[in-house]
Amino acid sequence: MILDRYDALLLDLDGTVYRGTEAVDGAQDAVRAAAEHGVAVRFVTNNASRAPETVATSLRALGVAATAAEVDTSAQAAAAVVADQVEPGSAVLVVGSAALAEEVAALGLRPVRDNAGPVAAVVQGLSKDIGWPDLAEACIAINAGARWVAANTDPTLPTERGLLPGNGSLVAALRAATGAEPVVAGKPEAPLMRAAIEAAGARMPLVVGDRLDTDIAGAVTVGADSMLVLSGVSDAAELLGAPEARRPTYVAADLAGVFGEPDRLAIGEDPRWTVRESGDGLTVSGDGDPIGLLRTLCALAWRMPSAPKALEAHGGPADAALRALGLGERDAIG
């Protein structure tokens, strides 16, 4: 199974291990099994609003075994990036949570919330308490020449109530106001991913996440294999149209996919499904796992040089599988 092939699991949190305040099916068993197989687990999150101990406590409350030492946050990565760019003891304007400010202070820098004195850098992470005054102070500092580091640029945050504004939406406001571009520490950029791999002592890590634009792209950035789980943000339609830099090694319904066989979960043709070209369309027939059909369609779509082709189901099982994937007849791939 997957767990036999890798020495570490780098698990995203929101949409992968949990959604809002609810654990995703199979998450507890997957983490427990990894420990039993001697596979290191790192909880790698782009959310910069919470401290590692707070994250670990929340995971344990959901029945997921976790310690603060196993948590890697974009706040930690962002603070490390800032510390590499400014002198020790420098004032760093924090636009974000107290947890982000604590990470900055832990590296010998001085977190501030305004421009009362010279500011060497601005570090920005998600906080539900951020308001216009915070963005205004950051704007002033950036326009005055302060370095700007963003914990992540996720436009949305998955919750049990649906997608809500993420740090990337607030970064976009500052980008529009200043014309500047931040250095990004979190996924899909390398700093957070490399820190997690180093902390795990991994030589063959597997990144597991629900977002193509952060988790999977981050894995590609550092040259790691990845598994997309369909329990969060990215869906079948997005996966079919994914550019090369956002294509996963494996696809599974949820984190229980780590118990599956690599060859069965890898992108490729599933013998239970047949996809044939028919005029300007593709006819799908067979009877099997809908995600097996999705892997088959991805293998075809990603090598298809021609214009997109509409999907047509031939038979009830094929129609049901397409609909289970959110792909109705006449949706196009390629």
Cis peptide preceding 158, ω within 30 of 0: no
**Annotation says 14 is catalytic:** yes
**Which residues, including other chains, have CB under 8 Å from residue 186's CB and lie 6 or more apart?**
46, 48, 74, 77, 78, 150, 151, 152, 153, 154, 192, 214
CB 158 within 8 A of CB 232: yes
Q: Which of 12, 210, 213, 270 is catalytic?
A: 12
CB 186 within 8 A of CB 192: yes
In whole angstroms, what is the distance from residue 89 CA to residue 108 CA? Answer: 6
Joined tokens for residue 318? 């094929």
**Annotation says 29 is catalytic:** no
Using DSSP, how many helices (H) and how many strands (E) does the chain show? Answer: 12, 19
Coil, strand or helix at 107: coil
In whole angstroms, what is the distance from residue 177 CA to residue 325 CA? Answer: 40
Q: Which of 14, 72, 210, 225 is catalytic?
A: 14
User: Whats the size of the chain, residue-wise?
Assistant: 334
In whole angstroms, what is the distance from residue 329 CA to residue 230 CA? Answer: 20
Task: List the Cα angle 132/215/40 in 5-degree steps.
Answer: 120
In whole angstroms, what is the distance from residue 334 CA to residue 303 CA? Answer: 8
Look at residues 162, 141, 51 and name the one whose alpha carbon lies nearest to residue 95: 141
Beta bridge partners of 110: 91
Matching residue, tokens 């996809």: 275
Joined tokens for residue 281? 């369309």
Distances in Å between the alpha carbon of 318 and those of 34, 96, 290, 313? 34, 47, 8, 5
Catalytic residues: 12, 14
